[in-house]
Chain A
Amino acid sequence: MSLPGEDQTRVLRERLDQLADSVAGGDRIDGAELYRRGVRRRRRRIAASIGLVAAGVVVAAVALGSAVQSESSSPEPPAPAASNPSSPEPSDDCVLTEQLAHGVELGAITEEQACQLAKAGEQENEARQEPPNGGVFAIEGEVQEDMVADCRAGTSDFGGTAEDIDLYCNAILKIAAGELKPTRICDPPECSDPGTPLWEYSKAELRDLPDANR
């Protein structure tokens, strides 16, 4: 492999310039609309982030409340929130923690929202019972030759720790060798194209993979 000479570079630049002129068609793009779409995207992202953080805080509060309740060694079982005349009535199928009940009482959240958050907290607690997988590696679509070459040469720049890179490269080499089948197929909007093969592994699963031939 070698880089082109000066003449080839100049000609390639001209062809790329022609390509950009012929296809980009920037005159048809409304700059103001492009900007507005960017602003809308940012606002959506901020709103989603706030919602995510708020949900995380509430879930953490729920988990903390559950832990505190379970650790309290009262001779009698704690009175349900409904028994407190100042607390709102809980739904039939969910038990509100004191924090959530207080939130409903203050009018910060509706009872329905509190119930959903309580269930989310329970699910979160259940999930914590499972062994942590330490993150998920995902490879979408196909493994490229340059990725394989980088992995073989030890020049991969995926980021992360040396162990992360080693685990990731091991998976890439095994996928390239056809030794690993996609864990699932994904479609838009998760993936850009319908029927895209996806390889998803937790770090623990990657550690369990036998070493690929390098």
Chain B
Amino acid sequence: MASTEDEAASFVAARRRELARFGFMLTGDRAAGEDLVQEALVRCLPSWGRLDPQGVEAYVRKVMARLAWKARRQPVHRRSLDQADLATADIAESSAELTDLRRALRSLAPRQRVVLVLRFWQDLSEAEIAELLGCRQGTVKSRASRAYAELRHELGGTDDVAIVDDPSAARKDMP
């Protein structure tokens, strides 16, 4: 039992950054993202010894995504959100565009955010997301479409320029 816990602890220590990033993106909030990682670990620990070592991270991420998918929406209070952003040092270091993107991401409904993150950040196909979340592919497609539209709306644009307003980012990797 101790060795299983040691393995789990080592895994978390080695992959904390990636898991925290994933948790943050799924929830739109750093603290909530850490909670999500913890909750996923709690769910995974009983079966940790039976997991394929090569597939542990994928399994933890799957649990995280499913937990985020099932989460109830938390009310968003814009003023307190702004204050929290200003009080966070790393936000001050990031660009205003990223702050807007973070706010927009956070304002999405949990299921929309989960699908958006899996589809457009993790680059999973609709079929893969449907399998991951245990829902229909049509649900993924409609949620992704709405999430993208709402993200654009939240960013104050009616076209894609609102999301890609950093021309340098848009030109990156282009031939």
Complex Cα gap A17–B101 (Å): 11
Query: How large, as a class, is the contact surface on chain A?
Result: 35 or more
| B37 located at the interface, meaning its Cβ lies under 8 Å from any Cβ of chain A in the complex | yes
Q: Range of interface residues on chain B?
A: 35 or more
Looking at the assembled complex, report how far the CB atom of B35 sits from the nearest CB atom of chain A, in whole angstroms. 9
Q: Residue on B with the closest CB to A14?
A: B169
Digitize B83-116: 1 where CB-to-A-CB distance is under 8 Å, 0 elsewhere.
0000010110110011001100100010110000
**Residue pair A1, B42 in contact (C-beta under 8 Å):** no
Q: Tell me, yes or no, whether B125 is within 8 Å of chain A by CB.
A: no
> Is A24 within 8 A of B45, CB to CB?
no
B45 near A15 (CB under 8 angstroms)? no
Q: Summarize B's interface: helix, strand, loop or mixed.
A: helix
Instruction: Determine how close the nearest CB of chain B comes to the CB of A8; give it in whole angstroms.
Output: 5
A-B contact pairs, 28 of them (CB 8 A): A1-B149, A7-B170, A12-B148, A12-B163, A15-B101, A16-B121, A17-B121, A19-B101, A19-B102, A20-B25, A22-B90, A22-B91, A23-B90, A24-B17, A24-B20, A24-B21, A24-B24, A24-B25, A26-B18, A29-B34, A34-B12, A34-B37, A35-B41, A144-B109, A146-B109, A149-B146, A155-B142, A157-B139
Q: Mark A residues whose CB is within 8 Å of B.
A: 1-5, 7-27, 29-32, 34-39, 41-42, 45, 140-142, 144, 146-147, 149, 155, 157, 192-193, 196
B residues with CB within 8 A of A: 5, 8-9, 12-21, 24-25, 30, 33-34, 37-39, 41-42, 45, 72-75, 77, 80, 88, 90-91, 93-94, 97-98, 101-102, 105, 109, 111-112, 117, 120-121, 123, 135, 139, 141-146, 148-149, 160, 163-164, 166, 169-170, 172-173
